Amino acid sequence: MGKLRTVSTVLILLLISQFIYAEKSGVSIYDLSVSTGATFSWNPGMETGELFKRGEVVRFKVGVPFILINYTKKMESVEVFRSKNGAVYISQNGADAIRDLFKDKPPAPGSMVVKAIIIDPGHGGKDPGAIGRHVVNGEKIVLKEKDLVLDVAKDVFRQLKTKYPEKEIIMTRDSDKYITLEGRTEIANRVKLKENEAMIFVSIHANASLNSHSKGFEIWYLPTDYRRELIDADSLDKDLHDVAPILNSMLEEEFTVESILLAKQIQSGLEKTVGNVIPDRGLKEESWFVVRNAKMPAVLIELGFVTNREEALIMRKGEYLKKISEGIYNGVSNFVDHFDITIPE
């Protein structure tokens, strides 16, 4: 009789727990970020998260019965909880509110949007780029820049294409083929844009040094005093020829600011995904060929040093390269989302 009572009690508890779990139906936060195209960031220590898209922000915390919209509006009676497998979920009413907040809206008249993103994996084909040679437990390991950057670029391309199906996401190469430096910038510069459209150029490389202890990632942009010929005077009306240098200088200053902002966003993205593994060498200025010849905001990323043994062994791992590509993707998408905020005339 005692055993029967014990079994009955266990069955009742199981039924109750299943009922409670069934009551906690909701939507996976990760799935919600993918379906809405929002950027998802998560702090595992604090169990707090954030969804971000085009200037709209939603913050939440596991176990707290509300979400915070744009830091000012509090939506009550929203449950954020963990499922049995540990994934973070949100109740249906909260998911519906977030979908509505992040619903794509047509650009306001005259507002600027990023229409095209150029992803440029460096080197390729007969040009291997930097090469790291190391011996591990008697095994000779060769790491080629052209292979690393192509893997990362493909993953960044995939993520951007998923989030921005309406934008042109273009790779200068998507296989192991050789493209000249001139050919890379020509691909970017021949993209046709409308008056309210903009584009950005992101070149991805890996580093090398005679100093085998050099390590870390860095992002480069044009020196702030560098001047390109962004506007061809012959393309302007005759009465504007005299002011072409002024217009060119104004556009260069705009591109410089945007390049620095893009570099900072990518730096922040990489700090969050790999900053605990390799050092951040910071933002730097240099007139690299592809950066100075791309007539748009442009940056060049150095993922790490193939000549550093420790770093090279880490970069061999697919899961680590995915963290790098996630950091770059988050940085680019954050820049684009900020840039695409529409302001009515």
Domain assignment present for 11: no
Instruction: Report which of residues 19 and 59 the model is more confident about.
Output: 59
Per residue in 165-194, pLDDT tens? 999 999 999 999 999 999 999 999 999 998
Note whether 261 and 119 are same-domain residues. yes
| Domain-located, residue 188 | yes
Prediction pTM value = 0.68
Residue 178's SS3 state is: coil
- pLDDT higher for 319 or 105? 319
Asked whether the predicted pLDDT for residue 12 surpasses 70, the reply is no
Percent of the chain residues past pLDDT 90, beyond the cut: 55
Query: Is the same domain home to 272 and 164?
Result: yes
The average pLDDT across 4-20 equals 46
β partners of residue 28 = 89
Q: State the Cα–Cα distance between residues 174 and 179, nearest whole angstrom.
A: 11
Does 229 score more than 70 pLDDT? no
Q: Could you give the CA distance from residue 226 to residue 277 in angstroms, rounded to a whole number?
A: 34
Question: Facing residues of 73 across strands?
Answer: 69
Mean pLDDT of the chain: 85
In the listed set 53, 69, 101, which residue is the last one of a domain according to the structure?
101
333 with 214, same domain?
A: yes
Task: Let me know: does 203 contact 299? Beta carbons within 8 Å.
Answer: yes
Pair (284, 325) in one structural domain: yes
From residue 207, give the alpha-carbon distance in Å to each of 8, 49, 304, 341: 66, 33, 5, 35
Q: Structural domain of residue 275, as residue ranges?
A: 113-339
Q: What is the pLDDT of residue 230?
A: 63
List phi, psi (to 5°) of 145: -55, -45
DSSP-based helix, strand, coil % in the chain, nearest 5: 40, 25, 30
Of 62-76, 96-110, 308-322, minimum mean pLDDT range: 96-110
Is it the case that residue 104 has pLDDT exceeding 80? Answer: no
DSSP for 187-234, written as a single string: HHHT----TTEEEEEEEEEEE--SSTT---EEEEE--TT-----S-GG
Domain endpoint, select from 70, 101, 132: 101
Task: Look up tokens 């509006």; give the residue.
Answer: 73
Beta-bridge partner residues of 90? 27, 80
Indicate whether 265 belongs to any domain: yes
Q: What percent of the chain has pLDDT over 70?
A: 82
- State which of 80, 101, 122 marks the end of a domain: 101
What pLDDT is attached to residue 45? 76
pLDDT at 24: 67
What local confidence, expressed as pLDDT, does residue 47 receive? 86
* Confidence (pLDDT) at 233: 54
pLDDT value at position 14? 45
Which position has the higher pLDDT, 47 or 240? 47
Q: Produce one character per residue of 94-115: b if its CB has 16 or more CB atoms within 10 Å, e if not.
A: bbebbeebbeeeeeeeeeebbb
Quick check: is 190 in a domain?
A: yes
Residue 18 lies in a domain: no
Q: Is 278 or 43 the better-scoring residue by pLDDT?
A: 278
| Residues 178, 181, 184, 187, CA torsion sign | negative
**Same structural domain, 141 and 247:** yes
- Count of domains in the chain? 2
> How many CA atoms lie less than 13 Å away from 122 in the CB half-sphere?
21
Q: Which residues share a beta bridge with 76?
A: 66
202, 67: one domain: no
- Hunting for tokens 């061809």 — which residue is that? 232
pLDDT at 290 over 60: yes
In the predicted structure, residue 73 carries a pLDDT above the cut 90: no
User: How high is the pLDDT of residue 220?
Assistant: 96
Are 71 and 125 found together in one domain? no
- Tell me the Ramachandran region of residue 124: left when phi exceeds 0, alpha when psi lies from -120 to 50, beta otherwise: left
**Quick check: 117 and 202 in contact, CB under 8 A?**
yes
Cα-based distances in Å from 289 to 130, 148, 183, 220, 266: 17, 21, 11, 12, 20
Which of 173-182, 245-254, 292-301 is modeled with the greatest confidence?
A: 173-182
Separation of alpha carbons 188 and 108, rounded Å? 26
Checking if the pLDDT of 209 tops 70, the result is: yes
Residues 76 and 127 in one domain: no
Please report which confidence band the pLDDT of residue 70 belongs to, taking 50, 70 and 90 as the band edges.
Answer: confident
Specify if 10 maps to a domain.
Answer: no
pLDDT of residue 10: 45
β-strand pairing of 80-82 with 73-76: unpaired
Question: 171: left (phi > 0), else alpha (psi -120 to 50), else beta?
Answer: beta
Instruction: Summarize the confidence of residues 199-208 as an average pLDDT.
Output: 97
pLDDT of residue 36: 87
Residue 149: pLDDT over 80:
yes
pLDDT of residue 240: 56
Does 241 score more than 60 pLDDT?
Answer: no
177 and 221 assigned to the same domain: yes
pLDDT at 50 (0 to 100): 83
CATH of the domain at 95: 3.30.457.10
pLDDT at 21: 41
- Residue 6, burial from CB neighbour count under 10 angstroms (0-12, 13-18, 19+): exposed
| Cα-Cα end-to-end distance for the chain | 79
208 and 117 assigned to the same domain: yes
The distance of Cα 45 from the centroid of its chain, to the nearest Å, equals: 23
Q: Are residues 72 and 172 in the same domain?
A: no
Does the pLDDT at position 272 exceed 50? yes
Average pLDDT over residues 23-49: 82
Range 227-241 average pLDDT: 60
Q: Which pLDDT value is given to residue 115?
A: 95
Decide if 39 is inside a domain: yes
